[in-house]
């Protein structure tokens, strides 16, 4: 039987689910009260938009969005002018917005853990892969554009 590789959106959805469960099971303390929690809609919407636009850029370029997929082009336009990993940034912003909407402290721990996990497991791997595949073009892009923001 072939091993199934778990892709980043799966971790994103699991993190979102964990945030909600922790909020109701172990809320620790309220950080934001109502209606201030609605401010969380801003990073959540921005994060969703960022991830959707980044995904669209992959599709337009005809390259795989999956970390283990075949990369056929180096995308340096659109949101990729601001962040080397706008989709992951979008995921983190969405989770931050969701944590704000929930209003307790516990979900914020999941946001931080998700960001660190993505950095260690996916970002480092992808950047090494891109450097190996695109060489100097990647190194020049890396000099111009920050990893996250």
Asked whether residue 126 is assigned to any structural domain, the reply reads yes
80, 54 Cβ separation under 8 angstroms: yes
pLDDT band, residue 92 (cuts 50/70/90): very high
Tell me the pTM: 0.92
Asked whether residue 107 is assigned to any structural domain, the reply reads yes
User: Is residue 72 predicted with pLDDT exceeding 80?
Assistant: yes
Asked whether residue 149 is assigned to any structural domain, the reply reads no
The range of the structural domain enclosing residue 92 comes to 33-144
Asked whether residue 44 is assigned to any structural domain, the reply reads yes
pLDDT one-digit tens code per residue, 2-54: 444 889 999 999 999 999 999 999 877 777 788 999 999 999 999 999 999 99
pLDDT one-digit tens code per residue, 93-129: 999 999 999 999 999 999 999 999 999 999 999 999 9
Asked whether residue 77 is assigned to any structural domain, the reply reads yes
How far, rounded to the nearest angstrom, does the alpha carbon of residue 13 sit from its chain's CA centroid? 11
Beta bridge partners of 30: 104
Q: How many domains does the chain have?
A: 1
Q: What is the DSSP letter of 66?
A: S
**Host H or E run for residue 107:** helix 106-118
- 3-state SS assignment for residue 32: coil
């Amino acid at each position: 039987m072939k091993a199934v590789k778990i892709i980043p959106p799966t971790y994103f959805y699991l993190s979102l689910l964990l945030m909600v469960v922790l909020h109701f099971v172990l809320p620790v303390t309220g950080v934001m009260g109502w209606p201030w929690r609605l401010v969380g809609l801003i990073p959540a919407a921005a994060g969703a938009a960022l991830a959707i636009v980044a995904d669209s850029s992959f599709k337009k370029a005809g390259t795989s969005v999956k970390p283990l997929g075949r990369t056929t082009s180096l995308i340096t336009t659109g949101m990729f002018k601001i962040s080397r990993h706008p989709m992951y940034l979008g995921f983190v912003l969405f989770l931050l917005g969701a944590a704000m909407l929930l209003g307790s402290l516990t979900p914020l721990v999941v946001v931080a853990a998700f960001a660190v996990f993505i950095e260690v497991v996916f970002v480092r791997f992808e950047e090494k892969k891109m450097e190996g595949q695109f060489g100097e073009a990647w190194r020049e892009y890396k000099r111009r554009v920050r990893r996250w923001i």
